[in-house]
Structure 1
């Protein structure tokens, strides 16, 4: 199996530029769609499955070949499901896979922690602070073939495009793992059912 490499730091500004450009265009489309949908009456929808794609930033990473400390950008994909009890509160499960092999330094040991296609599973409470903006807090497990770690999952999502109960959101998240932290940014495509 061919080993994937972490995304070089020099490509990250291009990703941010494209991401922000898309966000501005999507916001204009959302404003137009919102005007059209304001005349329609909607029933409350409890279920929201979604898919996620983005990048995780691992500041405590190590170069696998040289062993030197370096920041690593890891591509990730995921799936989430939210059940909305009311207009403001929901409970959700957030699951994603980091699609790469990397190492991180352990604070208390000489041996680095190896991570390979780590799967993060978390359960969290969701609160809608403002229309289209949610805060997410919960916990779970980060699992790979080497070790399972407990995690604290904190995130926020903002809907940039909404049409016919389909939402495109920007997601920012922070995962505190036992030996290291990750910060993620990405896009979430969800459907309210």
Structure 2
């Protein structure tokens, strides 16, 4: 299981360009989200992240060439040594959880119907945390999100300023995912 402490605010570098990985590895952050990984480079990327003393997470929807079934989840844990996964797919997250991976359910707030569906999923989610996107929308719904679930909430997407990070933290989110390397 991951060593991640959601009791303190987590800033999770989201690596959209592999050239930026070195910056994240030199940071004091505990988790690195590999959003541009594929099955050909995942093992070496995870090894680099682990050598720097950090946990390696992947986004299942963005992991190139990967089979998202029970065998795939076991491979992520046992062969690739991934520590955690993020996904919008509750079924895949359940498989990942059974394999011992840290799991983060992702929700996109695009309209009220989608938000209501997200609340229903969140009420019964058996994951370690949830990420709500975009962050600017997440800020407006933090009270409702906390009302239906006690799991740590992350915000992500379109975080561009230190003021936005501060707002997210003060609102009660457990952390953020952020691709803007100036904040790592």
TM-score interval w.r.t. the shorter chain?
Answer: under 0.3
**Structure holding more strand per residue:** 1
TM-score, scaled to structure 2? 0.22
**Structure holding more helix per residue:** 2
